[in-house]
Structure 1
Amino acid sequence: MMRGKVLQHDIPDLSIELCERLLKDLERAKRPVIEATKCSLDNALYDFKVGFLTPGKKKIKTELNVASVKKMSRAVFMLEILLRNISTGAVNTKRELYYISKGEVKHNAFMKPIDFADQDESDSIIDFICEILECYREELNCYANDRGGQTYSQQLVVEESLSDGTRAVIDLSQLGTSPFQPKNRPQNLTLKARKKIDYCLIVESEGTANTLVANGYTKRHNCILVGAQGVPSNAVRGWLRRIQDQLQVPLYFFGDLDAYTMQNIYRTLKAGSAASLIRNSDYSAPEVRFLGVLPEDIKKYDLNDYPVKENDAQEVRALKKAKDALQNDPFFRDKRNKGLADILRWLLENKRRCEQQAFFTVNPRDPTMPEKIIVEKIKNGIYV
């Protein structure tokens, strides 16, 4: 099991301990071994009470040999760059770290054998370091260029703790039609409500979220409305976790009815991902409910749905993954997520899909009809 969340002030000591152990093994003519948490579905555990995927006991062991010498050397090389950033307070994106490493090699020909051919190679080493130390990338002062979902509310006030010790206060009711978009580290944000907030609506399509706001949704309802931008980034997931924990309001996800949405978007939002096992505790929102589109909505509202295209490789692959998820994904196998697993089974059996925008067909002359349906479903508990 994990030893607990590793914070930035722990990283230098853990890194020195790691490197000293590698050096001692080399001095004793012993092959050094590096252990890292295995971040994959076959090492993912799910407990409904916890609410997100956590790592099991499996480790990836990398022993020094001809095949692994480059990987281990690159890990120590990149770790030195990251530790330098921690000591100076500098921050970088993965892309910038790739070029910093190229610069190091450029000025020291001795480093040429471990040069990165492309960014994918350096990205994988950064992830490897995180899995070794069991720390978040952000604790290494490495930030992805992702943003939290576009957020609208007439009631939400956000207070941000800045690096210089000062605080910035953002009142979302004063932003007009411009959304608030938290970046990188939602854990620096403190949330307050000007008046009681009833719920948070997470809309898969950013365009549809914008449409709902433009048509007055947040003015008629004391809520938070977030555009999730498809597959949720770490920033989106961290932001929604912040809303869940600090405001303790119900969260509802409104998105397409298809296998890709259920697995790659909704499950990742609710329980995290297998690739991010060491960070799901802060980057998942276990209390979010699936509002729709639900299978029964198609008949109830006479929605336009359509068959999965047999010649569409992406759709066929999503259905194949859905079948595998029902057998191997601990999230969908948990009996308390039976309702969500049943949706996957429906998709596999019927091979049909329905988009969230289909609600606009219910009454094409009433621009607020999708809003009315969403509110009705929330009020009557029509969600999973």
Structure 2
Amino acid sequence: NVTYDEREGYFKLKSGKITRALTYNTVKTFAQTLRMMALCKEAIDTDEEVTKREAYYVSKNWGEARFEEQPESDTVMEDIEALFGVNREQLGFIPEEKGGEVAGELLVIDRDRTTGEKIEIDCTRFGSGAYSVPISVEQLEFKTKAKFVLAIETAGMFQRLNNHSFWRETNCILVSMGGVPTRACRRFIRRLSDEKHIPVYAFV
């Protein structure tokens, strides 16, 4: 149910929909969906986050509505994403893995979760380290005069280029994808490219 938009440069959901009727055969899935939505509401109300794995284990206390395997839990989570038209991170569900690392000519503007004050994070000032992409990137703002983004497949090559300040020589932003990039890392790169109108090159 997706199509590739050549003009935009990424996949988009098509208009296909699934109607789920409440019957004897679907009552368990209905119950699981309602339970997962309740867990999501609790996470949002308390400003907490729940990993996908934790959500699966929490279901073990749901009696007959519990999930037998995590893929079942993940599928219901994806259904809720589609239902509300948002991503799972906005619903309070996060993956286990990190989002990615960033170094170079970029100021990331985030907010203090307690006070709401804006925080400017300079990605040139982490020494031999790097800025870690957060699980949710929708709230971030960017300031940069970089010429391009270099998305690097391996953490080792990212560290090597960062150690030699390659970003300073070429006026770019380095992003470590750590193999298969997380959704947060992909969204971070997409937003940065779209909003600042800079190209992205992949080093694989």
How high is the TM-score relative to the length of structure 1? 0.49
Distance 1:118 1:85, change over 3 A: same
**2:98 touches 2:135 (CA, 8 Å); kept in 1?**
yes
Distance in 1, matches of 2:15 and 2:122, equals 44
Q: What is the letter of the counterpart of residue 113 of structure 2? A: S
Distance 1:113 1:148, change over 3 A: closer
Residue 86 of structure 1, CA deviation: 2.5
**Aligned partner of 1:198 among 136, 140, 147:** 147
- Residue equivalent to 2:122: 171
Distance 1:162 1:53, change over 3 A: same
Distance 1:216 1:86, change over 3 A: closer
- 1:290-309 equivalences under 5 Å are none
SS at structure 1 position matched to 2:18 = strand
Does the alignment pair 1:230 with 2:179? yes
> What stretches of structure 1 move > 6 A for 4+ residues in a row?
none
Residue 245 of structure 1, CA deviation: 2.6
- Residue equivalent to 2:33: 75
- Residue equivalent to 1:149: 100
- Residue equivalent to 1:254: 203
Residue 93 of structure 1, CA deviation: 1.6
**1:146 touches 1:235 (CA, 8 Å); kept in 2?**
no
Residue 69 of structure 1, CA deviation: 1.9
- Residue equivalent to 2:112: 162
**Aligned partner of 1:98 among 35, 44, 56:** 56
How high is the TM-score relative to the length of structure 2? 0.88
Higher RCO structure, 1 or 2 (CA under 8 Å, sep 6+): 2
Computing the radius of gyration over CA atoms, which structure comes out larger, 1 or 2?
1
Distance in 2, matches of 1:79 and 1:177, equals 42
SS at structure 2 position matched to 1:78 = helix
Q: Which runs of 5+ in 2 are unaligned?
A: none
Q: What is the letter of the counterpart of residue 91 of structure 2? A: L
RMSD: 2.0
- 1:185-224 equivalences under 5 Å are 185-193=136-144, 196-224=145-173
Distance in 2, matches of 1:185 and 1:206, equals 21
SS at structure 2 position matched to 1:60 = coil
Q: What is the letter of the counterpart of residue 228 of structure 1? A: M
- 1:296-335 equivalences under 5 Å are none
Distance in 1, matches of 2:141 and 2:200, equals 18
Residue 177 of structure 1, CA deviation: 1.1
Distance in 1, matches of 2:124 and 2:136, equals 22
Q: What is the letter of the counterpart of residue 181 of structure 1? A: S
Residue 160 of structure 1, CA deviation: 0.9
Residue 215 of structure 1, CA deviation: 3.3
Q: What is the letter of the counterpart of residue 247 of structure 1? A: K
**1:198 touches 1:250 (CA, 8 Å); kept in 2?**
yes
- Residue equivalent to 2:15: 57
Residue 74 of structure 1, CA deviation: 1.0
Identical amino acids, percent of aligned pairs: 30
Distance in 2, matches of 1:145 and 1:245, equals 27
Q: Which runs of 5+ in 1 are unaligned?
A: 1-42, 106-111, 256-384
Quick check: which one's helix share is greater? 1
Distance in 2, matches of 1:235 and 1:146, equals 10
Distance in 2, matches of 1:248 and 1:147, equals 26
Q: What is the letter of the counterpart of residue 41 of structure 2? A: L
**1:161 touches 1:167 (CA, 8 Å); kept in 2?**
yes
SS at structure 2 position matched to 1:63 = coil
Residue 191 of structure 1, CA deviation: 1.5
